């Protein structure tokens, strides 16, 4: 064995360039698979960790009683059980609603939080809140303080002592979910029997899904259906994916195997062909075929082991650089419901290591076996006499159209290329895989990017604004931010644009015939059902018929219906922009011209009258109103002027209808996009919106304030600018209690970072593939040139000058590159067309933008890279050949 | 008139004690239109001499004049151009370009010089060498004799003043060899060229106007039909 390895090592040293190329292919393949696999697994682990922010429990059992809770606590495979009971709602004077939850200490663990100061409540009159909730409620962070709390359901005011401040829960903070925690005692458990929730975390290593069912059965919940059992899908999904190999990783690995395999195969074949004479000599002096095979296998084994070790080491170091990067980049199918989270955990993926080693082994073995077979079948005499030149030239010597245009040196090159079809095809495939992957990725990225932009422009145009203030719907309708305050923001250097909207919670008077068939009728029915839910709470509110809360009410005439809606006033630039986009219909009749113009937004529903549904669902507008029609809006003008409760004024229409005043607008256009929307229930976009210019809004309603302010920062804003602005926003928000402040700055930064990392990541993958493909081009050109030494010698003997010789080789290199680029471009274009057609017409969600486009930048890059590699590949061999004397070259047999 | 002249031509491989004198001070003059053969045993230095005469191998010492021009005073590219215009080569191994057909191989030196191909002349040349009917065929489809005739046609295609043939019959049977040398001789006569041929076939050597015999890199005899030894 030692002899074989010694000879193998000699060969490796004798052909350093080729050995290096093969080893590099192994290194790069192993590196890429391990790096991608590890980053993938690391990000999944991070996702699992972060998913615990949304709950560390594996399952929640809702609506259980105290006995069932005890069974859960006693269950042998339950690691931890937390009990949680909804106790009551606390309505603050600012109109904010806080849920009072009775919880035990395990809840903090499940919520991935802890007591920051003080302790958890243990007595019935104790309470603990998160810091950000205290801020939102305008309460001091002072343990021991007594809070007077209005309990809505109990209809009484109780004093609670703040015993602890809980660390902020990120999810609740981001969504504005206000909770307060009180002690869970026997009294509450018996009072709320049958309304208890048990959050269960199972022990490690058990089958979670089976355990969920087993525990449910133990608690006697089996027959209850799945409504009471809520598995933590996000955590389970994240957990389920760890340790699994991603389909795309496997695909990528197979591509790498193909590319690297072909490079190793062709390079090794070339290398072995050059030493076939040596094998013949060995055979002639008595070596057996088996011994020759051992030498070959020893050589590829040394290259494989060295290459794989380097690749593994490189990947291990490389992945550490990504600590803190966005996780979405590395999970090919990002978990639904997750944003971009920082990559906190770095692991080396064992399955990826195995896959990489296997793939590289398959590639080197394929090359080794072919050469071994060739060597074994060769007779010693044939091998000794073997020459790779001038033999068996089989190609149709036809004069191509181009031939006439080329000088003789280029013609020789073209003919040699035709003669070496196999090498050309190998090079093309090896090179085009990386290039095609890069081009197709660029195309899909651009395609979905365009679609996303369209989506955001369509569905949520203000999605990219960093800060947003929205006055609470309980604040009197006349309250809001003034034009001066908005102008002040607009003048700040860090601010790019401030979008402001006026809001008026109102009702729309429609004829029943304007409801769009079943879609409209069922919509009204479902919306009414949603509203009656609220009747249950204050109890006495629904005692009188005029106090009924409702979405729709009968109008003044027999077929009139009065439904909920919102009027929104836009500033002039925004109104102009909307008008331009929608090409408003001119008022044609004199009668209509007297009414102000409005843009109407009508919600769309499915055939059940709701807004959701599984799979593809036909959605239709709920109203049949078109441009040119007149719409009548009614709103509780007097009630608003008296600052009565908005909620009651709108929902208890019968009670307050005398205070309502009507407004009429001519519909100038229908929009499917809301430029902004109120985030509160009274301004829901589940009901129609009437959009008008702010000037008209002020004229017809007398309200000159704005309820929504959305601030878009300049692209390159500094951290200091942001902090100053954030402070100012907080102060502005505090002027109207209950105003919500949304801060998307960090999220947007994360998204941008993720996007950049995604592009960089795939560019890196493509770069590695192109490098491997480039090695193939380099080696093939190198071999083609070196193998034609004699031909070059002859040409020089016949008077080929050095300049002509260099030009000839450059032409060959560039031709290889150009053919490879052309092949890659055609292949990529076909795949891109296929992807486009599939996504535009056949996929689950078809593209809105059905215009095919050419992602020309990637094409240009690929053409330049290919031609560049081809050119570079000819430089080395040209210098090598030039060093030889003509007479030496002519004498050469290889 | 002397068309070719060498003065003190030497080619030494290696140095010191390992130095091998392949050509060791050869002075030779060839007249215009002369047919000269160089004979000698294997390793005597005749091919090295021919390569140096043709500008393919730079001498260690000495000079080569073709038409009064010191060819090694030129730089590489000038020498290449000079070679393709003034010198025609015929090699033992034919050295045709495998991917070019017969016509293209013959026209190759002209095309390298970016000169228009004189179709009548090339056709006439091919006719006289009996390869015209093979003009569209690739070299590997021809017999050795045919390949060598194509190589001769290629050597003559630029109407060089001097044709150098390195054992042109070495790979051929005696009949083909004789035929090739006859054709070569007739052609150079027809186109008024000078022919220097290496051979170790004494019969073929006798067909020349003059025979030069070399051994160990030195001329050891020269003369007409009978080679006269040169006394040291």
pLDDT tens digits, one per residue of A351-381: 888 888 888 888 788 877 877 777 777 666 6
- Give the residue, B213 or A773, on which the prediction is more confident: B213
Q: Give the N- to C-terminal CA distance of chain A in Å, as an integer.
A: 31
Pairing outcome for strands B162-166 and B194-198: parallel
Q: What is the pLDDT of residue A580?
A: 78
Which pLDDT band holds residue B204 (cuts at 50, 70, 90)? Answer: confident
**Nearest CA of chain B to the CA of A807: how many Å?**
12
**Nearest CA of chain B to the CA of A793: how many Å?**
9
Q: What is the pLDDT of residue A169?
A: 77
Average pLDDT, integer, range A239-263? 65
Q: Do A801 and B97 lie within an 8 Å CB cutoff?
A: no
Q: Give the N- to C-terminal CA distance of chain B in Å, as an integer.
A: 28
pLDDT tens column, B180-195: 888 888 878 888 889 9
| Mutant choice from A798, A881, A887 vs B, greatest count of B C-beta within 10 A | A798
Which residues in chain A have their CB less than 8 angstroms from residue B91's CB? Answer: 794, 797, 890
Q: Do A801 and B77 lie within an 8 Å CB cutoff?
A: yes
* Residue A76 pLDDT exceeds 80: yes
Q: What is the 3-state secondary structure (H, E, C) of chain B?
A: CEEEEEEEEEEEECCHHHCEEEEEEEEEEEECCCEEEEECCCCCCHHHHHHHHCCCCCCCEEEEEECCEEHHHCCHHHHHHHHHHHEEEECCCCCCCCCCCHHHHHHHHHHHCCCCCCHHHHHHHHHHCCCHHHCCCCHHHCCHHHHHHHHHHHHHCCCCCEEEEECCCCCCCHHHHHHHHHHHHHHHHHCCCEEEEECCCHHHHCCCCEEEEEECCEEEEEECCCCEECCC
Q: What is the pLDDT of residue A388?
A: 40
Which pLDDT band holds residue B99 (cuts at 50, 70, 90)? Answer: confident
In the three-class reduction of DSSP (H, G, I as helix; E, B as strand; rest coil), residue A721 is classed as: helix
Q: Closest partner residue to A408 among B95, B98, B112, by Cβ?
A: B112
A387 touches B at CB < 8 Å? no
* Residue B218 pLDDT exceeds 80: yes
Which residues in chain A have their CB less than 8 angstroms from residue B164's CB? Answer: none
- Give the residue, A281 or B101, on which the prediction is more confident: B101
Q: What is the pLDDT of residue A33?
A: 80
Tokens in use for A856? 């020309």
* Residue A181 pLDDT exceeds 90: yes
How many Cα atoms sit within 13 Å of A523 on the Cβ side? 26
* Residue A766 pLDDT exceeds 80: no
Which residues in chain A have their CB less than 8 angstroms from residue B111's CB? Answer: 407-408
Q: Which of A249-253, A489-493, A751-755, A778-782 has the highest mean pLDDT?
A: A489-493
Interface of A with B in 361-380 (CB under 8 A): none
Q: What is the pLDDT of residue B98?
A: 82
Are A231 and A739 contacting, i.e. CB atoms less than 8 angstroms apart?
A: no
B55 touches A at CB < 8 Å? no
How many Cα atoms sit within 13 Å of A161 on the Cβ side? 12
* Residue A75 pLDDT exceeds 60: yes
B86 touches A at CB < 8 Å? no
- Give the residue, A189 or A129, on which the prediction is more confident: A129
Q: What is the pLDDT of residue A403?
A: 65
Rg (CA), chain B: 17
Q: What is the pLDDT of residue A334?
A: 40
User: Could you tell me which chain B residue has the CA closest to the CA of A390?
Assistant: B98
Which residues in chain A have their CB less than 8 angstroms from residue B140's CB? Answer: 390, 392-393
Pairing outcome for strands A560-570 and A689-693: parallel
Q: Do B98 and A795 lie within an 8 Å CB cutoff?
A: no
Domains of chain B, residue spans? 33-55+75-229
How many Cα atoms sit within 13 Å of A219 on the Cβ side? 33
Contacts of A710 (CB under 8 A, 6+ apart): A462, A465, A467, A468, A469, A498, A499, A500, A676
Average pLDDT, integer, range A154-172? 86
Other C-beta atoms closer than 10 Å to the C-beta of A579 total 16
A390 touches B at CB < 8 Å? yes
Average pLDDT, integer, range A792-807? 86
Q: What is the pLDDT of residue A870?
A: 85
Which residues in chain A have their CB less than 8 angstroms from residue B97's CB? Answer: 412, 791, 794-795
Q: Which of A588-592, A675-679, A797-801, B36-40 has the lowest mean pLDDT?
A: A588-592
User: Roughly what angle, to the nearest 10 degrees, separates helices B174-190 and B144-156?
Assistant: 20
Q: Closest partner residue to B108 among A415, A418, A798, by Cβ?
A: A798
Q: Do B112 and A415 lie within an 8 Å CB cutoff?
A: no
A492 touches B at CB < 8 Å? no
Q: Closest partner residue to B95 among A412, A418, A890, by Cβ?
A: A890
Q: Which of A559-563, A657-661, B227-231 has the lowest mean pLDDT?
A: B227-231
**Nearest CA of chain B to the CA of A389: how many Å?**
9
| Mutant choice from A408, A417, A787 vs B, greatest count of B C-beta within 10 A | A408
Pairing outcome for strands A97-103 and A597-601: unpaired
Taking alpha carbons only, the member of A726, A749, A766 closest to residue A324 is A749
Task: Output the CA–CA distances (angstroms, integers) from residue A268 to A262, A639, A818, in the order listed.
Answer: 10, 88, 25
Which residues in chain B have their CB less than 8 angstroms from residue A392's CB? Answer: 140
pLDDT tens column, A112-162: 788 999 999 999 999 999 988 888 787 899 999 999 998 888 888 899 999
Task: Output the CA–CA distances (angstroms, integers) from residue B208 to A12, A561, B38, B191, B196, in the order listed.
Answer: 53, 123, 10, 17, 9
- Give the residue, A819 or A244, on which the prediction is more confident: A819
Domain B33-55+75-229 coded CATH 3.40.50.300: yes
**Nearest CA of chain B to the CA of A794: how many Å?**
6
pLDDT tens column, A643-659: 888 888 998 898 898 89
Q: What is the pLDDT of residue A117?
A: 92
Q: Closest partner residue to A412 among B84, B100, B140, by Cβ?
A: B100
The C-alpha atoms of residue B36 and residue B49 are separated, in whole angstroms, by 13
Are A261 and A362 contacting, i.e. CB atoms less than 8 angstroms apart?
A: yes
The C-alpha atoms of residue A265 and residue A270 are separated, in whole angstroms, by 9
Which pLDDT band holds residue A694 (cuts at 50, 70, 90)? Answer: very high
Which pLDDT band holds residue A392 (cuts at 50, 70, 90)? Answer: very low
Contacts of A253 (CB under 8 A, 6+ apart): A33, A355, A356, A359
B76 touches A at CB < 8 Å? yes
Interface of A with B in 404-423 (CB under 8 A): 407-409, 411-412, 415-416, 418-419
**Nearest CA of chain B to the CA of A866: how many Å?**
26
pLDDT > 90 fraction of chain A, expressed in percent and rounded: 21
Q: Do B99 and A796 lie within an 8 Å CB cutoff?
A: no
* Residue A78 pLDDT exceeds 50: yes
Q: What is the DSSP string of A74-121?
A: H-TTEEEEEEEEEEEEEE-TTS-EEEEEEE-THHHHHTT--EEEE---
pLDDT tens column, A624-634: 998 889 999 99
Q: What is the pLDDT of residue A393?
A: 45
Q: Do A411 and B104 lie within an 8 Å CB cutoff?
A: yes
Q: Can you say how many angstroms the Cα of residue A634 is from the centroid of all Cα atoms in its chain?
A: 43
Which pLDDT band holds residue A310 (cuts at 50, 70, 90)? Answer: very high
Interface A–B counts its CB contacts (< 8 A) at 87
Q: Do A412 and B101 lie within an 8 Å CB cutoff?
A: no
pLDDT > 70 fraction of chain A, expressed in percent and rounded: 82
Which residues in chain A have their CB less than 8 angstroms from residue B94's CB? Answer: none
Other C-beta atoms closer than 10 Å to the C-beta of B143 total 12
Q: What is the DSSP string of A124-168?
A: TTEEEEEHHHHHHHT----TT-EEEEEETTTTEEEEEEEEEEEPP
Share the mean pLDDT of chain B: 87
- Give the residue, A552 or A792, on which the prediction is more confident: A552
* Residue A251 pLDDT exceeds 80: no
pLDDT tens column, A419-475: 777 777 877 777 777 788 788 878 888 888 787 777 666 556 677 788 888 998 888
* Residue A541 pLDDT exceeds 50: no
Q: What is the pLDDT of residue A34?
A: 83
Share the mean pLDDT of chain A: 80
Burial call A175-189: b when 16+ CB within 10 Å, e when fewer: eeebbbbbbbeeebb
Q: What is the pLDDT of residue A894?
A: 40
Average pLDDT, integer, range A510-530? 91
- Give the residue, A662 or A549, on which the prediction is more confident: A662
pLDDT tens column, A847-887: 777 789 988 888 998 899 888 888 888 887 777 777 777 87
Q: Which of A5-19, A249-263, B202-216 has the lowest mean pLDDT?
A: A249-263
Report the helix count and the strand count for chain A, using DSSP H and E: 30, 22
Task: Output the CA–CA distances (angstroms, integers) from residue A133 to A157, A238, A621, A738, in the order listed.
Answer: 20, 29, 39, 12
pLDDT tens column, B26-59: 999 999 989 999 998 888 898 899 999 988 888 9
Q: Do A890 and B57 lie within an 8 Å CB cutoff?
A: no
């Amino acid at each position: 064995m030692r002899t074989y390895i010694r000879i193998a090592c000699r060969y490796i040293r004798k052909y350093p360039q080729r050995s290096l190329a093969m080893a590099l292919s192994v290194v790069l393949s192993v590196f890429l698979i391990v790096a991608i696999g590890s980053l993938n697994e690391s990000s999944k682990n991070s996702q699992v960790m972060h998913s615990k922010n949304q709950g560390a429990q594996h399952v929640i059992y809702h609506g259980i009683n105290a006995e069932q809770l005890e069974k859960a606590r006693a269950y042998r495979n339950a690691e931890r059980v937390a009990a949680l009971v909804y106790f009551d709602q606390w309505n603050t004077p600012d109109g904010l609603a806080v849920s009072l939850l009775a919880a035990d200490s395990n809840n903090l663990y499940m919520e991935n939080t802890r007591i920051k100061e003080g302790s958890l409540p243990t007595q019935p009159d104790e309470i603990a809140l998160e810091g950000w909730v205290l801020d939102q409620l305008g309460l001091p962070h002072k343990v021991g303080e007594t809070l007077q709390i209005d309990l809505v359901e109990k209809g009484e005011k109780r004093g609670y002592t703040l015993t602890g401040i809980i660390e902020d829960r990120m999810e609740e903070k981001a969504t504005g979910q206000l909770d307060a925690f009180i002690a869970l005692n026997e009294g509450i458990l018996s009072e709320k029997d049958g309304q208890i929730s048990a959050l269960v975390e199972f022990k490690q290593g058990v089958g979670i899904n089976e355990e969920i069912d087993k525990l449910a059965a133990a608690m006697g919940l089996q027959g209850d259906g799945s409504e009471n059992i809520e598995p933590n899908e996000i955590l389970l999904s994240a957990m389920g994916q760890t340790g699994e190999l991603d389909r795309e990783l496997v695909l990528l690995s197979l591509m790498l195997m193909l590319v690297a395999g072909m490079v190793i195969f062709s390079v090794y074949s070339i290398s072995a062909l050059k030493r076939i004479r040596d094998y013949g000599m060995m055979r002639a002096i008595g070596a057996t075929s088996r011994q020759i095979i051992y030498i070959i296998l020893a050589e590829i084994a040394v290259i494989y082991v060295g290459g794989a070790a380097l690749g593994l080491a490189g990947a291990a170091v490389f992945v550490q650089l990504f600590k803190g990067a966005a996780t979405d980049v590395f999970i090919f199918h990002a978990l639904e419901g997750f944003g971009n989270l920082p990559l906190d955990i770095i692991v080396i993926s064992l399955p990826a290591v195995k896959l990489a080693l296997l793939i590289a082994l398959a590639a080197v073995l394929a090359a080794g076996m072919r050469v071994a077979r060739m060597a074994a079948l060769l007779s010693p005499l044939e091998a000794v006499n073997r020459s790779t030149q001038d033999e068996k030239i089989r190609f149709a010597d036809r004069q191509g159209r181009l031939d006439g245009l080329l000088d003789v040196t280029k013609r020789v090159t073209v003919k040699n290329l035709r003669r070496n079809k196999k090498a050309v095809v190998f090079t093309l495939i090896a090179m085009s895989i990386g290039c095609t992957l890069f081009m197709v990725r660029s195309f899909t990225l651009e395609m979905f990017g365009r679609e996303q932009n369209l989506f955001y422009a369509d569905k949520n145009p203000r999605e990219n604004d960093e800060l947003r203030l929205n006055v609470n719907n309980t604040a009197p309708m006349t309250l809001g931010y003034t034009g001066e305050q908005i102008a002040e923001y607009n003048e700040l250097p860090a601010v790019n644009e401030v979008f402001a909207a006026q809001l008026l919670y109102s009702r729309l008077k429609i004829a029943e015939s304007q409801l769009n068939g079943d879609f409209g009728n069922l919509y009204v029915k479902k919306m009414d059902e949603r509203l009656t839910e609220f009747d249950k709470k204050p109890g006495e509110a629904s005692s009188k018929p005029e106090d009924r809360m409702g979405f729709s009410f009968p109008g003044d005439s027999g077929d009139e219906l009065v439904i909920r809606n919102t009027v929104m006033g836009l500033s002039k630039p925004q109104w102009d922009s909307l008008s331009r986009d929608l090409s408003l219909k001119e008022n044609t009749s004199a009668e209509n011209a007297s009414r102000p113009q409005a843009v109407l937004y009508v919600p769309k529903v499915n055939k059940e009258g709701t807004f959701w549904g599984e799979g593809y669902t036909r959605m239709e507008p709920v109203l049949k109103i078109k441009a040119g029609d007149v719409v009548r809006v009614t709103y509780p003008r007097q009630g608003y002027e008296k600052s009565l409760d908005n909620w009651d004024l709108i929902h208890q229409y019968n009670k307050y209808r005398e205070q309502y005043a009507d407004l009429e607008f001519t519909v100038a256009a229908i929009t499917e996009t809301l430029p902004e929307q109120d985030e509160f229930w009274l301004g829901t976009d589940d009901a129609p919106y009437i959009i008008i210019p702010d000037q008209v809004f002020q004229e017809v309603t007398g309200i000159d304030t704005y309820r929504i302010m959305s601030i878009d920062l300049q692209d390159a804003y500094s951290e200091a600018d942001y902090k100053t602005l954030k402070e100012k926003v907080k102060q502005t928000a505090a002027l109207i209690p209950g105003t919500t402040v949304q801060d998307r700055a960090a999220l947007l930064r994360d998204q941008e970072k993720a996007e950049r990392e995604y592009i960089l990541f795939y560019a890196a993958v493509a770069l590695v593939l192109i490098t491997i493909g480039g090695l193939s081009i380099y080696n093939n050109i190198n071999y083609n040139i070196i193998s034609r030494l004699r031909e070059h010698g002859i040409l020089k003997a016949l008077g080929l000058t050095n300049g002509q010789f260099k030009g000839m080789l450059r032409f060959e290199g560039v031709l290889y590159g150009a053919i490879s680029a052309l092949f890659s471009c055609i292949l990529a274009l076909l795949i891109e067309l296929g992807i486009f057609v599939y996504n535009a017409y056949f996929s689950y969600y078809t593209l809105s933008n059905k215009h095919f486009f050419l992602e020309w930048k990637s094409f240009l890059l690929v053409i330049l890279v290919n031609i560049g590699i081809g050119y570079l590949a000819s430089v080395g061999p040209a210098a090598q050949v030039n060093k030889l004397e003509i007479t030496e070259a002519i004498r050469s047999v290889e | 008139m002397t068309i070719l002249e060498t003065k003190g031509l030497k080619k030494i491989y290696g140095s010191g004690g390992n130095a091998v004198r392949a050509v060791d001070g050869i002075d030779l003059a060839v007249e215009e239109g002369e047919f000269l053969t160089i004979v000698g045993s294997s390793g005597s230095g005749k091919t090295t001499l021919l390569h140096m005469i043709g500008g393919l191998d730079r001498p260690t010492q000495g000079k080569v004049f073709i038409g009064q021009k010191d060819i090694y005073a030129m730089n590489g590219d000038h020498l290449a151009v000079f070679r393709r215009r003034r010198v025609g080569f015929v090699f033992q191994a034919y050295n045709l370009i495998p991917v070019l057909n017969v016509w293209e191989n013959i026209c190759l030196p002209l095309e390298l010089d970016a000169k228009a191909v004189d179709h009548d002349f090339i056709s006439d040349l091919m006719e006289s060498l009996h390869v015209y009917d093979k003009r569209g065929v690739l070299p590997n489809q021809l017999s050795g004799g045919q390949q060598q005739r194509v190589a001769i046609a290629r050597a003559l295609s630029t109407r060089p003043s001097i044709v150098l043939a390195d054992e042109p019959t070495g790979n051929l049977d005696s009949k083909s060899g004789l035929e090739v040398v006859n054709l070569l001789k007739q052609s150079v006569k027809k186109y008024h060229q000078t022919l220097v041929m290496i051979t170790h076939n004494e019969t073929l050597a006798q067909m020349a106007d003059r025979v030069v015999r070399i051994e160990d890199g030195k001329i050891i005899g020269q003369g007409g039909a009978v080679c006269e030894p040169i006394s040291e």
